[in-house]
Amino acid sequence: MSTHARSPAAGWSWLMQAVNIGRSNPRAVFGAVALLALVGLVPSVIQLVLQSGLGLGTTASLAVMAACTLAMVVVYPLLIGGVLRVIDAAEHGRPTHAAALFDTFRAGSGAGRLVGFGVAMFVAYLVLFVAVVALFGQDFSGWYMELLSASTQNDPAAQAKVLQDVPDGFGTMMALGTLAGLFFSGIYAIGFGQVALAGRGVGSALVDGVAGTLKNVLPILLLAMVVFAGFLAFALALAMVISLLGMVGGLVHPALAVLLAAPVYLGGLLMLYVVMFGVMYFMWRDVCGEAAPLPPGQVEL
């Protein structure tokens, strides 16, 4: 399947379409993304409960964190595929609902390809991360382990001290990581769309993701710059509204301040998630076109 090169302005178009996503079926789209976000919180809740309830040490806490991460490597791709399918159904006027997010967990829904693509991307991230650290951040591993240790101990003073001792080469490593992240984000969006919506196999989706990203470097760069500026403006406005609500509520009772501010904060996060998945969907649709899915029961290898 061929991928298409788009003009630099396409990056702006993907974002604008994502901002307006869900108009035809907001309950399904926003509900599916909200369910995904709730499932994504489960590992953090498990870690918090185990650390506070069992008083786990640093090694045990890191083991729990690693186990939760590996579990989400399997589960999260299924959720992403589910969200993309809900969005696609809503955009084409087909009946759908928020709980359709979990249809990818059923047999015959392409779950193996979704998990396979997610695992492949996770391994690629790890390989790239190790390579960048080995070349430009030799002291980063030790520093990061100290930061994780301080975080698991809930010691703000220790965390602040570790953050002050940033290793040499950290800036270069972060710059390269940012560029690599942009490239991988294109592969991620296009590839997941190909697996979830076009019935492509893992290898084919990876090839399409790389080819589509290379052909659309300029739109992706423009998208990144616009998203960064827009996120800063959105975060600033959200912080001001939350602060104002907290101040007004605090005049009556601290609990009221939380009750007023929490829905705005959570609503803002939900909007960011919806726009993010919307960008993924419209980038895939624009770069790969309206790909026809494979017939039921047929899987591309």
Average pLDDT over residues 179-185: 88
Give the pLDDT of residue 293: 42
Q: What is the pLDDT of residues 99-110, one digit of tens each?
A: 999 999 998 889
Average pLDDT over residues 267-275: 93
Rounded CA gap, 206 and 102, in Å? 24
Q: Which two tokens stand for residue 46?
A: 């498990």
Rounded CA gap, 64 and 43, in Å? 9
Give the pLDDT of residue 57: 65
For residues 230 and 244, the answer to whether their CB atoms sit within 8 Å is no
Q: What is the mean pLDDT of the chain?
A: 84
Rounded CA gap, 159 and 153, in Å? 9
Say what the pTM is.
0.83
pLDDT of 294 > 60? The answer is no
Percent of the chain with pLDDT over 70: 83
- Higher pLDDT: 181 or 95? It is 95
Of the ranges 25-29, 154-158, 171-175, which one carries the lowest mean pLDDT score?
A: 154-158
Give the pLDDT of residue 257: 87
| Domain ranges within the chain, ordered by starting residue | 10-288
For residues 262 and 165, the answer to whether their CB atoms sit within 8 Å is no
pLDDT of 271 > 90? The answer is yes
pLDDT of 225 > 70? The answer is yes
Give the pLDDT of residue 95: 93
Percent of the chain with pLDDT over 90: 51
Q: Which long-range contacts (CB under 8 A, 24 or more apart) does 144-153 make?
A: 148/58, 148/62, 148/65, 149/58, 152/51, 152/56, 152/58, 152/61, 152/62, 152/65, 153/58
Average pLDDT over residues 261-288: 93
